[in-house]
Amino acid sequence: MSSTITLLNLEYNQIGDSGASSIAQGLKLNSTLTLLNLEHNQIGDSGACSIEEGLKLNSTLTSLNLGNNLIGDSGGCSIGEVLKVNSTLASLNLGNNEIGESGACSIGEGLEENSTLTSLILSSNKIGDSGGCSIGEGLEENSTLASLNLERNQIGDSGGYSIGEGLKLNSTLTELNLGCNNIGDSGACSIGEGLRLNSTLIGLNLGCNKIGVSGGCSIGKVLKVNSTLASLNMGNNQIGDSGACSIAEGLKLNLTLTSLDLGNNKIGDSGAYSIVEELRINSTLTLLVLGNNQIGYSGACSIGEVLKFNSTLASLNLRYNKIGDSGGCSIAEGLKFNSTLTFLVLVNNGIGVKMKQKLRESWKGRSRGLWV
């Protein structure tokens, strides 16, 4: 391996385990390489084991991408061992592999001892609840990780509980992605309790889980006291009007949230009314997603009225609702008085041609950003 190269991109090369073994040998002796991309290379467990041996002796690599390979539990265990002793790696991508519970357990143990890693991607593996628990325990001890992606990992409520416990003690994590898992109400409640004590998390993705009314209420209560969260994705759950009402109550007191996704949550007119009414008071939210819900005429009327007074919202997504021409008319009237909204989506709402034209006329004077 060259003694001057600092970046090496070998993605999509089918190097396999034997190629990974050769690269690992180079890592043992190289003293300049800082970034290595081995994504999409059919590297399995033995290849990961070889890389473990190389990283134990390497003292310069800061970024390693092993995403979209064939690494399973034994490979995950090897990586976990590396995390215990390596003192330079800051970014590690293990997404889209086949790491299960035991591999995740080893990685969690590695996080407890690691003092350099700031970004870890484990999305689209098979770590499940047991693996989620191990990662949560790792968060309790880790003092460097800032970004953690656990999307699409079959994590349920017990895993959510442990991650919530980890959030109580962790003081560095700023981004957490738990989207597309199996977290329900009790798991959401646990994560909410973690957020009560956490003072660093800025972005949280809980979209595409199984969170219902009580889980939505738990998150709503947390918003009243949390002072750091800026982005919250709760889309594609089932919080309904009651959950939306609780989140609205949280918005009344929250001073930090700028982005909120509640799309596809069975929210109707009363839930929409609760959310948008708080926008009369809230002065931080700039992006709101309420698409794919059940909002009709009265909900649209509430939105139209609030648009007349709100001066912070820049992006509003209302696609796939039941707003119709009458609701569209209310929104068009609100737009005449609004000067901050720059992005508005109203497609698939049963709005006719004439009303679409009226909305476009109310939108005049702004750059592109209206979708009807």
Please state the domain extents for the chain.
Answer: 1-138+145-160+175-182+203-210, 211-372
Structure confidence by residue, pLDDT tens digits, 7-46: 999 999 999 999 999 999 999 999 999 999 999 999 999 9
The CATH number that domain 211-372 falls under is: 3.80.10.10
pLDDT at 325: 98
Measure the CA–CA gap between 269 and 275, rounded to whole angstroms. Answer: 10
Establish whether domains 1-138+145-160+175-182+203-210 and 211-372 are of one fold: yes
Distance in angstroms (rounded) separating the CA atoms of residues 264 and 3 = 53
Q: What are the residue ranges in the chain where pLDDT is below 50?
A: none
- What contacts 292, CB < 8 A, 6 or more positions away? 263, 264, 319, 320, 321
Q: Are strands 315-317 and 370-371 parallel, antiparallel or unpaired?
A: unpaired
Fold of 1-138+145-160+175-182+203-210: 3.80.10
Task: Give residue 2's pLDDT.
Answer: 57
Residue that the structure tokens 């898992």 belong to: 181
Tens of pLDDT along 199-217? 999 999 999 999 999 999 9
- Give the pLDDT score at 366: 87
